[in-house]
Chains A and B, each alone.
Chain A
Amino acid sequence: MDLLTTLEAGVKMVILFGGLMGAAAYLVLVERWVAAWIQDRLGPNRAGIPLTKIRLFGLGQPIADGGKFIFKEEFTPGHVEKVLYFLAPVVSLTAAVAVFAVVPFGEVEIFGYRLRLAVAPGVDVGLLYLVAVSGLGVLGVLLGGWASNNKYSLFGGIRSAAQLLSYEIPLGLALLGIVLAAGSLRLEEIVLWQAQTGLWNIFWQPLGFSLFFLAAFAEAGRLPFDMAEAEQELVGGYHTEYSGMKLMMYMVAEYLHMILASFLLVLVFFGGWHFWGLSGGEPAVAWPTALLRVLILLGKVLVVIWFFMVARWSWPRFRFDQIMHLAWYVLIPIGLVYVVGAAVLAEYGPDWAARLGLSLPLFMAAANWTIFLVVWVAAACLVPAHYDNRPLRGPIRPQAPAPETIP
């Protein structure tokens, strides 16, 4: 690795890190706005430029919040396990940031030099790295819960670990189907493949999309899957004992998870930087088109993030056993069916399409939509709905006596 490459990576890292921190700060503001509007309020609209009357719709709020966090007292309770307690938020944040190394923003050609807009461009195991490192975030949560030496924290950590580990499986299975179809683990290739055909994965992979969407929600720990820090039940979950900057590191890591989930959804299912009529399928382009592509990508990501925020207020939280039930009884079997279906279609699809006289994309879309509908209806009919968490047998749960025997 020569000096130029190192320098290039360094500059990209600084830009990406700064961008992510800024994005996390401003997304907190956006989330508060969306929450307020949904609750028929106006939301934060006061903080502007300090010492003036200029308000700027409250855009100064994140800076004020950041300043507040820096100057807040950072209290360390006496009963915690010191080393792990300090290490846990760092692990969480590091894992959340490191994942973005392989997220591609496209390619640009300047003065004959092909600049790939990703910190670690062309990683052959891009998707594997992504899934593995984002799974590392669980470690931070679990360590924090354990090191806090507190019942609520421990429960939050355990719940979170169980949930995240369970949902890694359907997440991986959904990605596996896409990887089988695209024939590459590189995110750049997957985006390029969608751009060249002009057919985003969501249009012909509905089952993979639904699986990935649900699992991504759970991975990001957002409502309706926010068991790890269900405030109404667990005080604050794993970060009950944290304050000041350490709490902020957890919060930022959580937001980065959401941003990552949105990026993944856009890159893998919504065609990345591709948009019909605006950017075509050629890999490297001049800077105006490259800029347009980045803007398209960020726009799509913002739409997905906005959906995350609205979804938070739309549906009630699942109970913990329901979350586990959903993962192990519904999503994982569906994921297995999906992977087998994707493998069969990848192997025999071209043959069958030729025999039926259909074009390949049309045949694939029809087959996948059929599988999707069949699996969805089957899951709805066959899997018993799980809304009663009382014990199923034993003396605790007798048969209800007939009404006339009750005096």
Chain B
Amino acid sequence: MTALVLAEQATGGAIADATLAAITAAAALGGPVHLLVVGDGEGARSAAAAAACITGVERILLAADPAYGAMLAENVAPLVAGLMEGYDAFVAAATTTGKNIAPRVAALIDVMQVSEILSVEGPRSFTRPIYAGNAIATVESADPKIVLTVRGTSFEKAAAEGGSAEVEEVSGPEGTGADAGLSSFVSLDATGGERPELTSARIVVSGGRALKDGETFERIITPLADRLGAAIGASRAAVDAGYVPNDYQVGQTGKIVAPDIYIAIGISGAIQHLAGMKDAQVIVAINKDADAPIFQVADVGLVADLFQAVPELTEKL
């Protein structure tokens, strides 16, 4: 079974951590792993050169065309579907890019995708979360080919160095070309800036509805995150209340994180939120309600008024 993995680039051009985890999942299927790098010209070429060094990747397929620059599903999916004649499995990270493209590929090749897998149990069987992580299903596919998206925090990252794959150039379906002519990229409004990316940060500081408003969230949470070099997250309640943008949301409908340390501040610990962070190595919770469910999963808990405790913590660290 040969697997084709879709590569995504992190800011700065390196191959994204989520892709490195997807490579590990693809290797667990038991056959060779090839990596598809798509993008616009030079950026894609240098990413392909970097990708060739990843341990465990046998070959790099490079599709360089302006139409692949923004990784629009309408353009990338037909390219992948065409390549799938030579592959038994297509694997993408369960990022917003992977989730956008993989089901489109699956439908084009008439395969039922297995979404956001947590483990590979066999070449055709996988575990995945259902009901917001309240249950784990083991499923087996009867399709001739496999299409998977992979939860990055559930797999080790493949080593970015040590490999020596050959790079082969590929192009989109004959006749139509790379641009399907259905969609175009307009703009990207990036949040975060210098801060580590939420899903790959070593430390995450998250705030909940108890932070009152956006200004207070910023005043209480940001200095602590700065002190720790941490990414900032939030509960769905804090996002719904408009304190922070949606891409800060940790939870089943937001991001799934598994940092070394997760510090939950003023977060009660709804099941929806726990589904997104319970794989953290150490969970620290600060909440004034001693009965908050977050304390049932926290390794270290402090019952205190966060408006006093968090600034004090920031100062003493």
| A and B co-occur in one complex | no
Interfacial residues, chain A to chain B (CB-CB below 8 A): none
